[in-house]
Amino acid sequence: MILDGDQTSHIDQACQQLRHGALLGLPTETVYGLAADAGNDAAVRQIFQRKGRPAEHPLIVHVASAAQAEHFACDIPPFARSLMQAFWPGPLTLILPRRAGVASVAAGGHASIGLRCPSHPVAQQVLHACLRLPEPVYGLAAPSANRFGKVSPTLAAHVQAEFGDDLLVLDGGACEVGIESTIIDCTRATPTILRPGRIGAAQMQAATGIPVADPFASAAADDPAVCDDTDAPAAPGTLAAHYAPNAKVRLMDARSIQAGLDILGPQARHMAVYARSRLAIRAPGIAHLPMPDDPAQAAHELFRVLRELDARGVALVWVETPPDDAAWNGVRDRLQRAAASA
């Protein structure tokens, strides 16, 4: 059931459900989350079950403010505090040492925990209302609200399509950022990006005065395997099938796409081209979608476009490789993972 997230009565209803161990489709500024009370192990286990996600794959815990981070994390280093101050609420997840005895199921049993304070007004209202309950809910464990390995949802309708009508989903409109939060590991001496997102290394360096390791910068970005060690500490989205639409995705430069289109000719079917460059397409069966020149706009629409291509029955998408520029790291990463899964 989708309910309008703007109404206070719906926020209260959602909090009651969370309090009683039910799951909630929660809008955030990045993507929709599948949320549960992080302190309720049975509820958190339901997230893993409904997503089809392996139990050792840790979830992000969402908190109302930096003050609430103390409930879940300990030994928070000064640079992590600076990051919270600069970027919370917002699309940044910090991996921190986990406080003993809290949210161990949500953390997949790891000694660390991923924390994020989302800025979406509906998420903020839910988190604050949860804190005001007679028996407070201190944080919400929420992975992206998609089946394991599939494209993250950026509309309430996407969440319903994944999990059916019995899940309560608060409608918060189209997610502004469109790709998942940047994840920064703050348990190492040098803070290290584990998943690129809107907030980049340069911004974090400027805010903290501390160098940030970015394995996704330039040359290394060609190889998504740079973060492919799920053990030490777990790296996000490392499985090949992550972010996979049903359609096969191929990343190519504009010239290769044009050369391929010229060979294919008018009989080609069930194909789409998603490109910034203008291309000559002679086949009426090939959908041509323009990719925005602005990386933020491209991120905003990326997952919706992939889902729409699936809905149209497109079997193959040729995507123009994003520019080799840090502002495109998040979009490039998601596209490389989508392309790696075929």
Which residue sits closest to ligand TXA, CB atoms considered?
143
Helix (H, G, I), strand (E, B) or coil at 26: strand
Instruction: Report d(CA 97, CA 110) in Å as an integer.
Output: 9
Please identify, using beta-carbon distances, which residue of 33 and 172 lies nearer to ligand TXA.
33
Stretch that binds ligand TXA, among 136-144, 217-225, 282-290, 326-334 (CB under 6 A): 136-144
**Which of these, 118, 122, 101, lies nearest to 62 by C-alpha position?**
118
Q: Which of 124, 144, 160, 336 binds ligand TXA (CB under 6 A)?
A: 144
Say which residue the tokens 């399509």 belong to.
161
Residues 35-74 that bind ligand TXA (CB under 6 A): 57-60
Among positions 39, 153, 236, 322, the unique one binding ligand TXA when judged by CB under 6 A: 236
Piece in contact with ligand TXA (CB under 6 A), picked from 114-122, 262-270, 271-279, 330-338: 114-122
Q: How long is the chain? A: 342
- Is 142 flagged in the annotation as binding? yes
Query: What is the per-residue DSSP string for 231-290?
Result: STTPPTT-STTTTB-SSEEEEE-HHHHHHHHHHHGGG--SEEEEESS------TTEEEEE
Nearer to ligand TXA, 117 or 273 (CB): 117
If phi over 0 gives left and psi between -120 and 50 gives alpha, with beta otherwise, what is residue 108? left
Applying CB under 6 A, does 208 fall inside the site for ligand TXA?
A: no
Q: What angle do CA 79, 83, 88 make, to 5 degrees?
A: 155
Q: Pick the piece of the chain touching ligand TXA (CB under 6 A) from 141-149, 202-210, 271-279, 297-305.
A: 141-149
Strands 271-275 and 286-290: parallel
| Minimum CB distance to ligand TXA smaller for 185 or for 320 | 185
Q: Are the C-beta atoms of residues 125 and 274 closer than 8 Å to each other? A: no
CB of 108 to ligand TXA, least distance (A): 7
Q: 277 to 296, contacts with Mg ion by CB under 5 A?
A: none
Residue 138 marked as a ligand binder: no
Candidate list 107, 201, 281, 317; residue touching ligand TXA; CB under 6 A: 107
Q: Work out whether 295 is an interface residue with ligand TXA (CB under 6 A).
A: no
110 close to 233: Cβ distance less than 8 angstroms: yes
d(CA 29, CA 199): 13
Nearer to Mg ion, 144 or 336 (CB): 144
**In sequence order, what E strands does the chain have?**
2-4, 24-26, 33-37, 60-62, 92-97, 112-116, 140-141, 168-171, 182-185, 192-195, 248-252, 271-275, 286-290, 316-320
Considering beta carbons, is residue 17 or 144 the nearer one to Mg ion? 144
User: Applying CB under 5 A, which residues contact Mg ion?
Assistant: 144
Q: Where on the chain is the footprint of ligand TXA (CB under 6 A)?
A: 28, 30-31, 33, 57-60, 93, 95, 107, 110, 112-114, 116, 118, 142-144, 180-181, 183, 194, 233-234, 236-237
Query: Which residues are part of a known binding site?
Result: 30, 53, 62, 116, 142, 144, 152, 181, 195, 243
